[in-house]
Amino acid sequence: MNPTLDEHVRNDPRILALYLEARRRYNETARAHHNFTHVMRDLHRALLIAEDEDSVNYSILIPSVLLHDIGFCTPDSTKEGHDLAGAHLAEEMLPPLAYEDQEVSAIAHCIRAHKGHAELPQTLEAEILYDADVLEKAGLVFLLFGGKIIGEFEETMEVFLEREIHHRTTELARGLYTRKGKELDGGRLEKVLSLFSLIRTEVTQERPDYRVSEQNLWTKGVPSL
């Protein structure tokens, strides 16, 4: 059966208030990929993974997943990274919703560790969030999401491919933390890495026509009006 939030909200009504506030902020920012739909997919995966683990603190896990990309809803994400910016924003959002200091720290850690860049997961909840978010990239469908990310970040295909190949390589070397996460991956992360590598070879070595810009079409500079 699909995991749902109902029981968790009955046990901890703060989750509903946070859910509504997080949804409002993601929808207001309306990013092409890092939006509330992405958060819902991560949340579904995180709950599936959590069912397979003992002693998960859902009052930490669910808020962490809901807020893990909230950094993209602040202008600070470009300066310090969305993981750090998101942890800072969570530290502001959570106390008014009756979260205790210790809970805020635990949730902020999960958010900072969800990329495995600013810090590595030190708790079960952080490990589950990390796996749930990495699994977003572990499917052929991520090749299509890639186009949305290129548009969202207004970046070139080359920049996207370099970054994603680097990240997939690091994630594969690190490995997923949970048993269920590994099962859900089923080798897809590795497949995505090899396909991105093939695309990079095609674009950079075999088909330079995909990299043509206006400058390539003029010898003495691009004409202006």
Separation between Cα atoms, residue 119 and residue 134, nearest integer Å: 15
Counting other chains too, the contacts that 197-200 makes at CB distance below 8 Å and 24 or more residues apart are 197/165, 199/161, 200/158, 200/161, 200/162, 200/165
Tell me which of 125, 127, 133, 164 binds Fe ion, using CB under 5 A: 133
Q: For Fe ion, which is the closer residue by CB, 151 or 208?
A: 151
Q: For Fe ion, which is the closer residue by CB, 23 or 203?
A: 23
Separation between Cα atoms, residue 81 and residue 72, nearest integer Å: 9
Site for Fe ion in 103-122 (CB under 5 A): none
Residue 196 CB, shortest distance to Fe ion, in Å, is 18
Q: Is 171 in the site for Fe ion (CB under 5 A)?
A: no
Q: Is 69 in the site for Fe ion (CB under 5 A)?
A: yes
Which pair of tokens denotes residue 35? 């939006």
- What is the four-CA torsion angle of 176, 179, 141, 27, rounded to 10 degrees? -80
Residue 133 CB, shortest distance to Fe ion, in Å, is 4
Q: Is 185 in the site for Fe ion (CB under 5 A)?
A: no
Residue 208 CB, shortest distance to Fe ion, in Å, is 33
Q: What is the CA radius of gyration of the chain?
A: 19
Contact residues: Fe ion, CB under 5 A: 69, 133
